[in-house]
């Protein structure tokens, strides 16, 4: 701006401060005053992104992660059948399920959480998904069919297929896999409460998804969930102890198994309406609940999710005995609001919630989902959140969630979509074996274990687009190098995508795109 005499006058400066102060940004968010934030910062009349397209792609991604015999309607056509003898060595059928990320191991713990979150997405927002609902249900069923196989024997759960150390020593397509497909299980003698309770949560949540469309399948899922939860509760212990050399450091349980017991009981309470589970929660809730300041929600730690799930029973069904869970959930919300009292969340300069350097996007997607879900519960009960003297409305929560999703889709300093295949600019070199190596169609010959590392270490873009995959994301300074070797930032995972499905369904609907 050209200088002028008026620009330096005190009156003009005062006028300028008064005009711009409401729009000061803290970490990319409008700061004071909150009344203005709530009255003016609602959804604009136009959508920054095509949420419907992103929703379609976020679900399509799961087809790229499928293990087993692929169906005739497989849309991610560069993938082929794989892992067709999984479990055979132990005389058990463990064909199917999902590869969790960019490797070829089937880890039961994150697979169950992925299934729970896909189911929760459909339970809360499936009514808004229109034609994508069937695809979302197929993605859930691919998970639950496998979990039913893994829990077929009473008091036993098969929790992993594949030797992760040996798998990681190779860079090969799942279709070429020749690393050991060892099978690992938990049972009465070697318990794994966290995996068992998460599996019960997944089966219970999915039973609600199929209740109307496939009642017999729904019943089978719920019966199994009840049995598996009983096993989880009766035989307590962490699978990270008994299977330490197998599951650590990949999917070690760091948060303990108490959160999964509360989470599993909350899902069974919601799916069965059996007062037994409410009694269980009331008896054990204090013991199972972690510190209220434990604000992580992801494949390992379910405390926040369980509290929000239980808060619905208080908010919407008026179960007074669960009123404390609204308080817990409110505290979590207050921790996220930039500039509000009790705020503790960290954001990048571009406004992205930043929890940790490894696969940070899982916390962004899960938090966005929780914000939209809690906004729904609050709106239904005509309630708000109090952060100190500040009132936070459902609209504020939706605004923050939308900002996070928009960042993922390209509204960020890199101008890059962190969803592969969405928008004009997205990661080209994701840490994913099948995506990075030539497909069976273009290269039918087997690619040996170590032969793929030439490609892994190259700068060439991945030949197969893993459409819809959300990668680990940028660093604390909004930087993203797009290097295949950088698994912390460049690797996709099923549990990053699962909560985003629900968030995108809500946004697509609210902007009239569905």
Span between the terminal Cα atoms of the chain, in Å: 44
Cα–Cα distance between 259 and 281 in angstroms, integer?
12
**Residue 236, phi then psi, degrees to nearest 5:** -90, 140
Query: Considering 86, 198, 300, 482, which one is annotated as catalytic?
Result: 482
Between helices 132-150 and 193-209, what is the axis angle to 10°? 140
144: phi > 0 → left, psi -120 to 50 → alpha, else beta; which?
alpha
Query: Considering 124, 233, 491, 509, which one is annotated as catalytic?
Result: 491
Number of H helices, E strands in the chain: 20, 7
Token representation of residue 180? 């050991």
Whether residue 482 lies in the annotated active site: yes
Q: Which helix (H) or strand (E) holds 313?
A: helix 303-315
Cα–Cα distance between 62 and 100 in angstroms, integer?
10
**367 contact partners, CB below 8 Å, separation of at least 6:** 297, 336, 353, 401, 404
- By three-state DSSP, how is residue 79 classified? coil
User: What angle is formed at CA 31 by the lines to CA 26 and CA 32, rounded to 5 degrees?
Assistant: 150
Query: Considering 135, 303, 431, 432, which one is annotated as catalytic?
Result: 431
Cα–Cα distance between 116 and 109 in angstroms, integer?
11
Whether residue 431 lies in the annotated active site: yes
Best CA proximity match to 496, nearest among 476, 469, 478, 475: 469
Whether residue 198 lies in the annotated active site: no
Catalytic positions, written as ranges: 431, 482, 491
């Amino acid at each position: 701006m050209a200088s002028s005499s008026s620009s330096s006058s005190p009156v003009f400066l005062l006028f300028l401060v008064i005009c711009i102060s409401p729009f000061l940004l803290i970490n990319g968010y409008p700061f004071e005053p909150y009344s203005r934030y709530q009255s003016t910062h609602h959804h604009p009349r136009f959508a920054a992104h095509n949420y419907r397209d992103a929703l379609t792609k976020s679900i399509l991604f799961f087809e790229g992660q499928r293990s087993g015999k692929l169906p005739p309607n497989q849309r991610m056509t560069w993938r082929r059948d794989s892992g067709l003898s999984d479990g055979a060595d132990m005389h058990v059928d463990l064909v199917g399920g999902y590869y969790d990320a960019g490797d070829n191991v089937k880890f039961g713990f994150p697979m169950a959480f992925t299934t729970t979150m896909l189911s929760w997405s459909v339970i809360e927002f499936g009514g808004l998904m229109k034609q994508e609902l069937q695809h979302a249900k197929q993605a859930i069923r691919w998970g639950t069919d496998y979990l039913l196989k893994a829990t077929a024997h009473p008091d036993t759960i098969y929790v992993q297929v594949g030797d992760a150390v040996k798998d990681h020593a190779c860079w090969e397509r799942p279709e070429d896999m020749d690393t050991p497909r060892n099978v690992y299980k938990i049972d009465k003698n070697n318990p794994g409460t966290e995996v068992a309770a998460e599996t019960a949560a997944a089966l219970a949540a999915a039973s609600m998804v199929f209740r109307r469309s496939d009642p017999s399948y729904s019943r089978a899922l719920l019966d199994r969930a009840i049995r598996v939860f009983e096993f989880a509760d009766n035989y307590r212990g962490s699978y990270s102890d008994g299977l330490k050399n197998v599951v650590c450091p990949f999917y070690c349980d760091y948060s303990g198994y108490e959160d999964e017991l509360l989470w599993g009981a909350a899902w069974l309470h919601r799916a069965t309406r059996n007062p037994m589970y409410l009694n269980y929660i009331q008896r054990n809730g204090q013991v199972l609940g972690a510190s209220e300041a434990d604000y992580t929600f992801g494949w390992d730690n379910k405390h926040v999710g369980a509290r929000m799930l239980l808060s619905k029973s208080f908010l919407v069904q008026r179960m007074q005995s669960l009123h404390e869970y609204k308080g817990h959930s409110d505290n979590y919300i207050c921790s996220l609001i930039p500039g509000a009292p009790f705020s503790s969340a960290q954001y990048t300069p571009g406004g992205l919630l930043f929890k940790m350097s490894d696969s940070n996007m899982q916390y962004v997607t899960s938090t966005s989902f929780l914000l939209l879900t809690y906004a729904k519960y609050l709106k239904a009960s005509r309630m708000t959140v109090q952060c100190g003297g500040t009132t936070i409305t459902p609209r504020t929560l939706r605004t923050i969630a939308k900002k996070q999703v928009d960042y993922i889709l390209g509204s960020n300093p890199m101008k890059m979509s962190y969803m592969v295949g969405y928008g004009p600019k997205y990661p080209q070199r994701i840490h994913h074996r099948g995506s990075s190596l030539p497909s069976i169609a273009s290269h039918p010959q087997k690619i040996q274990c170590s032969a793929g590392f030439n490609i892994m270490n190259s700068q060439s873009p991945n030949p197969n687009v893993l459409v819809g995959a959300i990668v680990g994301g940028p660093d604390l300074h909004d930087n993203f190098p797009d290097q295949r070797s950088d698994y912390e930032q460049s690797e996709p995972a099923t549990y990053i995508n699962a909560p985003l499905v629900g968030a995108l369904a809500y946004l697509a609907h609210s902007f009239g795109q569905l």
